Amino acid sequence: MAMADAGGQDGGTAAAPHEGPGAQNGQSAPDAPPLLEVQDITRRFGDILANDSVSLTLRRGEIHALLGENGAGKSTLVKIIYGVLRPDSGRILIEGRPVRIASPAEARALGIGMVFQHFSLFEPLSVAENIALALPQGTADAALKERIATISETYGLPLDPDAIIADLSVGERQRVEIVRALLSDPRILILDEPTSVLTPQEARQLFATLKTLAAEGRGILYISHRLEEVREICDAATVLRHGRVVAEVADPRRETAASLARLMVGEDIHAVKAAPPPEEPGPPLLHVRDLTLPADGPFGVALYGVSLDVRAGEVVAIAGVAGNGQRELFRALSGERLAQGHGVIHIEGRDVSLCGINARRRAGAAFVPEERLGHACVPEMSLTDNVVLTRHAASEKTQERLVRHGLINMDAARRICARIIGEHDVRGAAPEKPARALSGGNLQKFIMGRELDRQPRVFVVNQPTWGVDAGAAAIIRQRLVDLARAGAAVLVISQDLDEIFEIADRIAVISRGELSPARPAAELDREAIGLLMAGAHEKRHGRADNGTHAAEARP
């Protein structure tokens, strides 16, 4: 059944100006050895078994999903296949022949291409230079540009070879990665979470390209935790949990998202239980009016006329593709960067536009940034110290006071820390442990707990469950909804539409630093949000394109 898509079509002639897998496609007999076999791969990192005897089979023309939670071992496995990591034991066969892949160059020579999750691009270099770096030595410059043009045209992936990566949108960058992988004419293409940074429309374009590639007889290994899209495009799936293969799914289309999720997580995921939002909306606790800020540095995004109210009792979500001003908006709301004048940002009716982050905390707000290590926490410092980090200047009325006469009361901080660890079920934690030693999910629970413990009236969080396991994510989402229903105003900035639809009462979309008006979640669907992500609401005209935007996704 996996071969069904590949049958009959001879995409190879159309696709490749050179001899490739397409040439063999038509003849592949049912009993021919599979394109790629991974057998009993084991890899250990310190005390952790990242891959425990993992096996997987990828056939020609197949789009094969590799499913699993964060930390399940997907990235380790594909890095082994691509020669970045070496396995402790196990073997890899390509078309029945055992191979040893000691480096990415060898992987490419064997016909394996890879599109990385965190793009492995060099920002100040041009598209052509970035591509040349992944090709064997001796590719002439002119010939290379020609080949880029050919591939771009064949697969509908337009690219300017002379453009500098730093000027490209996330979607365009991914295109560079894909074209780069295709230029070495891979038989096997690996994509690691390719859609996590795309709008729904861009993702659909990507799926079309992938289907073309599969139809040419290539095998595609597709890593994702987005179950709907796996059901949409994948012919088979291998599910990893804690480094082990827990299921092989012959046809994901016959599964439901829920059944796949159960395989991934090993238990049912609790859906968020929320009382409906209050009929009478409460007063706006967070009030933003016409927030405009120039870009901070050459790689920043400017904010244009952002206006938003978040009322007591509701969760408002801001959707958008990464790099459209989310980080800048968060910094402006938190006070890490001040507004340019009075009357822009109010917390509980107080004008805090020109107040720093601690003054805003004292006004009743709490903030959780996207990055846990290095922004929300000091990685090398203890959890107790990390409690002090956001609590040292808290007001007396709500808190135990941690600082007197410039000296820190470490005993009090330790008590607060122990309380947070206990109340928020932070596993593997102790007050003396460095933040770095906690897993992503537990550290995020700790950080959320640290802020919730202050009983904030306004809560602003960026990417609350990014890279967090499903169990912890469900708990965190529930806490956000509970906080709102208890009377706080909660603002969630997220790139995860599933998450947004699960918890948001109203949704706004940010694109190129502009925010669409927040509308009730019930009135919106993915399609509508996708259009907004691509900039359908942008008002300004004649402004130079700052390149952080996927214009071609616009209908």
Partner 1 sequence: MIVLEKRAEPSRLWAFLAPVVAIAAAGLTGAVLFALLGRDPLLAMWTYFIEPLTSAWSLEELAVKATPLALIGAGLALAYRANVWNIGAEGQLVMGAIAGSAIPILLPEWNDPLALFVMLALGLAGGAAWAAIPAFLKVRFNVNEILSSLMLVYVAQLFLDWLVRGPWRDPMGFNFPKSVSFTDWHVLPAISGRVHLGALLALLAVAGLWLLLRRARMGFALKVMGSAPRAGLFGGFSMAQACWISFLISGALAGLAGICEVSGSIGQLQPSISPGYGFTAIIVAFLGRLSPVGALFAALLLALTYLGGEAAQLALGLSAKVTQAFQGMLLFFVLAADVLVHYRLRLQRREAKS
Partner 2 sequence: MNGLEAFLVTVIPAATPLLLAAVGELVVERAGVLNLGVEGMMATGAVCAFVVAHISGNPWLGVLAGALAGALISTPFAALTQKLAANQVATGLALALFGLGVAGLIGEAYVGQPGVRLPALNIPVLSALPFLGPVLFSHDVLVYASFVFTALVSWFLFRTRAGLMLRAVGVNHDAAHALGHPVVRIRVFAILFGGALAGLAGAHLSLAYTPQWVENMTAGRGWIALALVVFATWRPWRVLAGAYLFGTVWILGLHLQAAGIGLPSQLLSALPYLATVVALVIISRNRVLTLTNTPASLGKPFVPER
- Can you tell me the distance from the alpha carbon of 258 to that of 455, in angstroms, rounded to the nearest whole number? 34
Decide: is 123 part of the binding site for partner 2 (CB under 8 A). yes
Residues 390, 398 contacting (CB under 8 angstroms): no
- Can you tell me the distance from the alpha carbon of 60 to that of 25, in angstroms, rounded to the nearest whole number? 8
Decide: is 356 part of the binding site for partner 1 (CB under 8 A). yes
Residue whose CB is less far from partner 2, 128 or 383: 128
Judge residue 144's burial from the number of C-beta atoms within 10 Å of its C-beta, 0-12 exposed, 13-18 middle, 19 or more buried: middle
To the nearest whole angstrom, how small is the minimum distance from the Cβ of residue 147 to partner 2?
16
List the structure tokens of 187.
């038989």
Residue whose CB is less far from partner 1, 212 or 409: 409
323: helix, strand or coil: coil
DSSP assignment letter at 392: T
Q: Number of residues interacting with partner 1: please give it, by CB under 8 A.
A: 45
- One-character DSSP codes across 68-99: --TTSSHHHHHHHHTTSS--SEEEEEETTEEE
Residue whose CB is less far from partner 1, 237 or 388: 388
To the nearest whole angstrom, how small is the minimum distance from the Cβ of residue 92 to partner 2?
16
Of 45-64, binders to partner 2 (CB under 8 A) are 45
Among 29, 142, 407, 544, binds partner 1 (CB under 8 A): 407
Among 120, 209, 292, 358, binds partner 1 (CB under 8 A): 358
DSSP assignment letter at 551: G
Residue type, 503: I
Residues 291, 496 contacting (CB under 8 angstroms): no
Decide: is 371 part of the binding site for partner 1 (CB under 8 A). yes
- One-character DSSP codes across 231-247: HHH-SEEEEEETTEEEE
- Can you tell me the distance from the alpha carbon of 329 to that of 296, in angstroms, rounded to the nearest whole number? 12
Q: Number of residues interacting with partner 2: please give it, by CB under 8 A.
A: 28
Stretch 10-49: interaction string toward partner 2, x if CB under 8 A = -----------------------------------x----
Q: Which does 276 bind (CB under 5 to 8 A by kind): partner 2, partner 1, none?
A: none
Matching residue, tokens 């908006």: 329
Stretch 316-335: interaction string toward partner 1, x if CB under 8 A = ------------------x-
Decide: is 129 part of the binding site for partner 2 (CB under 8 A). yes
Among 269, 437, 528, 536, binds partner 1 (CB under 8 A): 437
Cβ atoms within 10 Å of 540's Cβ, excluding its own: 10
- Distances in Å between the alpha carbon of 347 and those of 4, 284, 362? 58, 9, 10
Decide: is 105 part of the binding site for partner 2 (CB under 8 A). yes
Decide: is 305 part of the binding site for partner 1 (CB under 8 A). no
Of 75-94, binders to partner 2 (CB under 8 A) are 83-86
To the nearest whole angstrom, how small is the minimum distance from the Cβ of residue 542 to partner 2?
23
Q: Which does 122 bind (CB under 5 to 8 A by kind): partner 2, partner 1, none?
A: partner 2
List the structure tokens of 132.
């040349």
Among 119, 155, 222, 446, binds partner 2 (CB under 8 A): 119
Q: Which does 231 bind (CB under 5 to 8 A by kind): partner 1, partner 2, none?
A: none
Among 23, 393, 418, 536, binds partner 1 (CB under 8 A): 393
**Cα 440 to the chain's mean position, in Å?**
14
Q: Which does 408 bind (CB under 5 to 8 A by kind): partner 1, partner 2, none?
A: partner 1
- One-character DSSP codes across 108-176: HHTTEEEE-SS----TTSBHHHHHHTTS-TT--HHHHHHHHHHHHHHHT----TTSBGGGS-HHHHHHH
Residues 402, 454 contacting (CB under 8 angstroms): no
Residue whose CB is less far from partner 1, 88 or 498: 88
Of 230-289, binders to partner 1 (CB under 8 A) are none
To the nearest whole angstrom, how small is the minimum distance from the Cβ of residue 331 to partner 2?
17
To the nearest whole angstrom, how small is the minimum distance from the Cβ of residue 495 to partner 2?
22
To the nearest whole angstrom, how small is the minimum distance from the Cβ of residue 392 to partner 1?
6
**Plot region of 8 (φ>0 → left; ψ -120 to 50 → alpha; else → beta):** left
Q: Which does 129 bind (CB under 5 to 8 A by kind): partner 2, partner 1, none?
A: partner 2
- Distances in Å between the alpha carbon of 76 and those of 64, 85, 188, 302? 17, 7, 17, 37
Among 55, 89, 256, 455, binds partner 1 (CB under 8 A): 89
Decide: is 463 part of the binding site for partner 1 (CB under 8 A). no
Q: Which does 380 bind (CB under 5 to 8 A by kind): partner 2, partner 1, none?
A: partner 1
Decide: is 469 part of the binding site for partner 1 (CB under 8 A). no
Among 34, 58, 70, 116, binds partner 2 (CB under 8 A): 116
Decide: is 406 part of the binding site for partner 1 (CB under 8 A). yes
Decide: is 98 part of the binding site for partner 1 (CB under 8 A). yes
Decide: is 342 part of the binding site for partner 1 (CB under 8 A). no
Cβ atoms within 10 Å of 463's Cβ, excluding its own: 23
Q: Which does 100 bind (CB under 5 to 8 A by kind): partner 2, partner 1, none?
A: partner 1
**Strand bridging mode 458-462 / 489-493:** parallel
SS3 per-residue string spanning 341-369 = CCCCEEECCEECCCCCHHHHHHCCEEEEC
- Can you tell me the distance from the alpha carbon of 148 to that of 154, in angstroms, rounded to the nearest whole number? 10
Residue among 526, 377, 522 nearest 450 (CA): 377
Decide: is 297 part of the binding site for partner 2 (CB under 8 A). yes
- Residues within the interface to partner 2 (CB under 8 A): 45, 83-86, 103-108, 116, 119-125, 129, 132-134, 137-138, 297-299
- Residues within the interface to partner 1 (CB under 8 A): 45-46, 86-89, 91-92, 98-100, 102, 334, 336, 356-358, 361, 367, 369, 371, 373-381, 385, 388-390, 392-393, 403, 406-408, 410, 433-434, 436-437
